[in-house]
Chains A and B, each alone.
Chain A
Amino acid sequence: MAGAVKNHGRRQTAATPRGIDEPPLLRWTLIVLAMGVALVFLLLPLVNVFAQALARGVRAYFAALTDPDSWSAIRLTLVVAAFTVPLNAVFGVAAAWAIAKFEFRGKSLLITLIDLPFSVSPVVSGLMFVILFGLQGYLGAGLDARDFKIIFATPGIVLATVFVTFPFVARELIPVMQAAGAEQEQAAMTLGASGWQTFWHVTLPSVKWGLLYGIILCNARAMGEFGAVFVVSGRVSGVTETLPLRVDKLYQEYNAVGAFAVASLLAVLALVTLGLKTFLEWRTQREYARGERITRGGAHP
């Protein structure tokens, strides 16, 4: 494969000796520049996170992580993700299903709405919920009378996070479902399968990699969300503080080791996400290539 690509390039160079090929000097300058930027602005900070976290040794690192407030932030972050990710997976599948399989009025409106969280600043998203559910908000007083707290409590954090991470699953699934078309489902129905059986045995397996990909991105964002959570949480240490908020708080308190130790957890999450993302992309690519072969009809005997 690589050989074929190289060959192709050489043939082009031969055909256009001084044509579209850039001079080597420019080529290398650009490559070094890009690599340098990636190194300085992306890799170095990442390495620095771990370096700073471990600056006072492994013991200090684990001490910082097991600090009760940090520990509580870890737990809260996991709780928020545990609510947010399944909710958005279900919402995302439902929305993608509706968009990919049905024709209805307001479809383009729905697509725009799904993208809304991407186009609104997270801080504004958080403020929206404060205005809605806060004590001075439209629904806040009523909720407060029933002793149900949303703002400055876990439900508010979950709500804000669900809002911000809503597009990930749906966005991933819509093209996959559209590409798969409706015929396999229709075939299942003509064979007597109910809606659930069709969904479970036919639809879900055909979109599983896309769904997983969306879930992983959604999870990464849910755990890493700062702006919206910052606004709705009230930042009570040990109560409504998530990991990103905890990092900020510790840093403001000049506790570099603590801040970087907690940050290193998020960095690890990022690395795991990146790894899984690459793996899933590779899987979908393979599946796609397979699908291509099927449609071209060139199958092995």
Chain B
Amino acid sequence: MSIALEQVSKRFGGVPAVNQVSFSVKEGELVALLGPSGGGKTTVLRMIAGLEMPTEGDLFIRGQRVNDLSVQQRNIGFVFQSYALFKNMNVFKNIAFGLRVKKWGKAAIAARVAELLELFGLGGLEQRYPHQLSGGQRQRVAIARALAPKPSVLLLDEPFGAVDAKIRQELREWLVRLHHELNVTTLFVTHDQEEAMEVANRIVIFSRGNLEQIGTPREVYEQPANEFVARFIGVMNVLDTEVRGGVARVGELSFPATGQPDGERMRIGFRPYAVQISTDLTQYHYRAVLRHTFFLGIMLRLELELSSGLTVRARMTKEEYAHLGLEDGREVSFQIRQYRVLARETAPLPPEVAVTYPTPPTIAEHI
């Protein structure tokens, strides 16, 4: 294990920021700490670095308990969201700083810095000062500086927060490649689920200081541990239904709820991809009007409005859309293939329900 947390809690003056968090990271993993702001993920990162002290619990780096080790002794590389480059030092001196304070020899420093400049594509910039660099260059200098003393883990706080959308994408891919090459255990904090899904081997999801789930991107998407995760990762339709006569209803929509007492409220969630749409109004059970189409690149998001005023989000590829000949304002029929019964925010979720509809009535039957 490269990093392990055991029942770690942090309170700031009585206010809990992190509650009883335990997880571990294997050597060489690239792990995202994901959650909404105020979720405690940055606090966890700073506790691993030694910039914050845990109120309770134990921290381990490579099997050694580090609670009582100072920041300097932990041998970690930390990249701040603002990069925190030394303004009064040029690129060379910034990268060399960690080696200088560790009393490396001059020649060894020069060699190591040259190696990093090469690896990070920063050759020729060693005399530049931070204010003379672009955002992406600054970030690379910050990571090179953190990696120079060969830390046992690399910690990054919102590494893509300070750059614009276009560079963000490049930097994500670059970070994945870099991690592949160096294979240093890396933890990064992000509030962007897409970023976490794309970059990380595993994702640790936080909400209000609690660890909600840890798993691969696929696991947290397909088997969310609770409603919070289900709603935070990806888009989800959530309906508030009421049970009447063994059926949970809201508007025109109904879901089986055998054995549930009348008047009970049931929350139903389903992903946009579980919604099947047809322009043949008789093909599926429900009717709706396509209100808006959002172009998200290759995938489109569709907003369906039911006559009761309910809105259901669906998605499909551009090709499907073109094939069906859809356009805003068009009436469609649809069905929901899979859904989940949601409980309280953080209660464990029951498994997904696959829906088997009776064979739709054919046109011939109508005639």
Contact = CB atoms under 8 A, between A and B. Distances in A.
Interface of A: 183-184, 186-194, 197, 201-202, 205-206, 290-291, 293-294, 297, 299-301
Given A184-B86, A184-B87, A206-B88, A190 B146 contact: yes
Which of A190, A205, A291, A300 is the most central at the interface, judged by chain B CB atoms within 10 Å of its CB? Answer: A190
Contacts of B75: 192
Contacts of A187: 78, 80, 84-86, 145
Contacts of B51: 186, 189-190
Interface stretch (B34-42, B125-133, B290-298, B331-339): B125-133
B150 to A, nearest CB: 11
Interface on chain A toward B: helix, strand, loop, or mixed SS?
helix
B67 interface: no
A201 B97 contact: yes
Given A184-B85, A187-B78, A197-B101, 9 more contacts: A186-B51, A190-B78, A190-B146, A194-B72, A201-B101, A206-B87, A291-B87, A299-B137, A301-B134
Question: Which of B86, B102, B145, B163 is the most central at the interface, judged by chain A CB atoms within 10 Å of its CB?
Answer: B86
Given A186-B51, A206-B88, A297-B162, A192 B132 contact: no
Q: Residue among A197, A202, A299 with the most chain B CB within 10 A?
A: A299
A140 B286 CA distance: 97
B87 A191 contact: no
B54 interface: no
A278 to B, nearest CB: 23
A286 B135 CA distance: 21
Given A190-B49, A201-B97, A184 B84 contact: yes
B82 interface: yes
Interface centre among B76, B85, B101, B130 (most CB of A within 10 A): B101
Contact of A290 (B71, B101, B131, B134): B131
A232 B295 CA distance: 81
A188 B97 contact: yes
A291 B87 CA distance: 9
Nearest to A103: B13
Contact of A190 (B76, B85, B88, B132): B76
Interface string B142-153: 000110110000
A297 B135 contact: yes
Residue among B49, B87, B134, B146 having the largest count of chain A Cβ atoms under 10 Å:
B87
Q: For the complex of A and B, list the 6 residue pairs with the smallest distance between their C-beta atoms, beginning with the closest.
A: A191-B98, A183-B84, A190-B78, A205-B88, A187-B84, A193-B101
A40 B34 CA distance: 68
